[in-house]
């Protein structure tokens, strides 16, 4: 079948030109007689790919010079553990603001290592809001304050960077990195699995203020030490070269399309369109997230009658709109509309939703 519009929350749709280039280069990268995935990570070919990827990412999202960039394995979840091992003393307080499922995962990882404190949580309202900054209880001696910039399951997103005082702000940006300009200097560290806005699954980026590396952290294996990883140019062991290469192609594509400013405009239009269809459906579709913190990346929604879920998914799939089933934790539907989802795809979904409502309303 032709390419569908794929609303998967991650691993997510990739830009078609990137896939076509990867396809073309699969058996022979730049005339060397081998695929990039078959070459040594320490050889000149891949070292060039890696250096370009870092330079392009720095340009794309505006990484300040006093911040280091790591390309890591293990996904965002491994980083959630490693940030405690690298930047907190054993048992030191660390403050977590929980605005959805992934914030809960983040705090779970660090419990063996730090005094993990919930500074604020919107769990009691079903994660439909983000706790008001005035209600946060921050520790005086926290190693860091952790937030989840965008929650992919609950569809809530920080629209501003909170001021947390002296402790550095650490943020999981897995599902919204590069979706709009952010001021990285307001953060001590941001991390992101690549499989949503940056490209392929299997690689993550960690961007951290270099002075944080002076912290002793906790006893840990060399492979879990960000200082060693930085010294080893993210190649302390064999890195996931193909994933890194593909992420690099996505960075180039985003730059060529106009950079994060352009994606911010597209993402605002895409999400506004879907929310307007939902809000204008007279209750046929609903999304209960507070309008001020609705995610521009993940739009969860429910049909007024659960019995319609199956026909909705079936007809959507027949119309070339796939991966709309919601996360099992919430049920319902979810449209993930990261940078690589074109506006035509969102328009096609909006049209389909209106047609479905007419047929079944």
Which residues contact a second copy (rule: CB under 8 A)?
1-4, 6, 8-14, 16, 19-20, 22-23, 26-28, 31-35, 37-41, 43, 73-78, 80-81, 108-110, 112-113, 193, 195, 200-203, 219-224, 236-243, 320, 322-323
Does 229 belong to an annotated binding site?
Answer: no
Annotated active-site residue in 56, 95, 115, 172: 172
Question: Which single residue is written with the structure tokens 């706790």?
Answer: 131
Q: Is 21 annotated as a binding residue?
A: no
Give the phi and the psi of residue 258 in degrees, each rounded to 5. 125, 5
> Which C-beta is closer to a second copy: that of 33 or that of 331?
33
- Tokens of residue 181, six digits: 């300009």
Ranges of H-type helices in 131-177: none
Q: Is 135 annotated as a binding residue?
A: no
Nearer to a second copy, 168 or 217 (CB): 217
Q: How far is the CB of 341 from a second copy (least distance, A)?
A: 11
Closest to 92 in 3D by CA, of 166, 148, 170, 144: 144
Residue closer to a second copy (CB basis): 31 or 282: 31
> Would you call 305 a catalytic residue per the annotation?
no
CB of 161 to a second copy, least distance (A): 25
Rounded-to-integer distance, Cα 293 and Cα 158, Å: 6
Whichever of 129 and 315 has its CB closer to a second copy, that residue is: 315
Q: Is 102 marked within a binding site?
A: yes
Known binding residue 351? Answer is no
Q: Give 281's DSSP letter.
A: T
Calculate the CA 347 to chain-centre distance.
Answer: 23
Please state whether 353 falls in left (phi above 0), alpha (psi between -120 and 50) or beta. Answer: alpha
Q: Is 172 annotated as a binding residue?
A: yes
State whether residue 269 is helix, strand or coil.
helix
Give the separation between CA 87 and CA 91, rounded to whole angstroms.
11
Catalytic, 279? Answer: no
Candidates 271, 307, 327, 353; CA nearest to 127 is 327
Complex with a second copy: residue 146 or 357, whichever CB lies closer: 146
Report the residue number, 67 or 170, with the smaller CB distance to a second copy: 170
3-state secondary structure of 50: helix
d(CA 85, CA 106): 13
Choosing from 102, 242, 244, 253, which is the catalytic residue?
Answer: 102
Catalytic residue among 29, 56, 95, 196: 196
Angle at the Cα of 192 from the Cα atoms of 162 and 118, rounded to 5 degrees:
45
Q: Specify the pairing of strand 298-303 against strand 333-336.
A: antiparallel
**19 CB-near residues (< 8 Å, 6+ apart):** none
Spatial CA neighbour of 7 closest among 331, 313, 281: 313
196 catalytic? Reply is: yes
Question: What is the closest distance, in whole angstroms, from the C-beta atom of residue 196 to a second copy in the complex?
Answer: 9
- Binding residue per annotation — 152? yes
Q: Phi and psi (nearest 5°) for 284?
A: -65, -45
* Binding-site residues: 42, 76-77, 102, 152, 172, 195, 237-238
Detail the residues annotated as belonging to a binding site for pyridoxal 5'-phosphate: 76-77, 102, 152, 172, 195, 237-238
In the annotated binding site for L-glutamate, the residues are 42
- Give the active site residues: 102, 172, 196
């Amino acid at each position: 079948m032709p390419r569908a519009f794929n609303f998967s929350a991650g691993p997510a749709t990739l830009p078609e030109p990137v896939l076509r280039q990867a396809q073309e280069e699969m058996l022979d990268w730049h005339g060397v007689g081998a695929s990039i995935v078959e070459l040594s990570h320490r050889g000149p070919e891949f070292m060039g790919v890696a250096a370009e990827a870092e330079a392009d990412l720095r340009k794309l999202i505006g990484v300040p010079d006093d911040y280091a960039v790591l390309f890591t394995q293990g996904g965002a979840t491994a980083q959630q553990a490693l940030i405690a091992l690298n930047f907190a003393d054993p048992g030191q307080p660390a403050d977590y603001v929980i605005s959805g499922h992934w914030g809960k995962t983040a705090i779970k990882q660090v419990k063996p290592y730090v005094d993990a404190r919930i500074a604020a949580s919107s769990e009691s309202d079903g994660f439909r809001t983000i706790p008001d900054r005035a209600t946060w209880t921050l520790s005086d001696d926290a190693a860091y304050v952790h937030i989840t910039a965008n929650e992919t399951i609950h569809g809530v997103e920080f629209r501003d960077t909170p001021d947390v005082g002296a402790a550095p702000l650490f943020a999981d940006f897995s599902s919204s990195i590069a979706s709009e300009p952010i001021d990285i200097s307001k953060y001590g560290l941001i991390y992101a699995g690549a499989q949503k806005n940056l490209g392929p699954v299997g690689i993550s980026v960690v961007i951290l203020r270099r002075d944080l590396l002076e912290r002793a952290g906790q006893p840990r294996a060399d492979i879990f030490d960000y200082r060693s990883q930085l010294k080893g140019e993210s190649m302390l062991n064999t890195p996931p070269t193909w994933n890194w290469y593909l992420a690099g192609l996505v960075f180039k594509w985003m730059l060529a399309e106009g950079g994060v400013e352009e994606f911010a405009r597209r993402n605002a239009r895409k999400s506004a369109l879907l929310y307007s269809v939902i809000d204008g459906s007279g209750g046929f579709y609903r999304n209960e997230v507070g309008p001020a913190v609705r995610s521009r990346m993940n739009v969860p929604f429910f049909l007024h009658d659960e019995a319609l879920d199956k026909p909705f998914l079936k007809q959507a799939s027949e119309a070339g709109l796939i991966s709309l089933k919601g996360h099992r934790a919430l049920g319902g539907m979810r449209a993930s509309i990261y940078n690589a989802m074109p506006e035509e795809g969102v328009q096609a979904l909006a049209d389909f939703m209106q047609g479905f409502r007419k047929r079944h309303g």
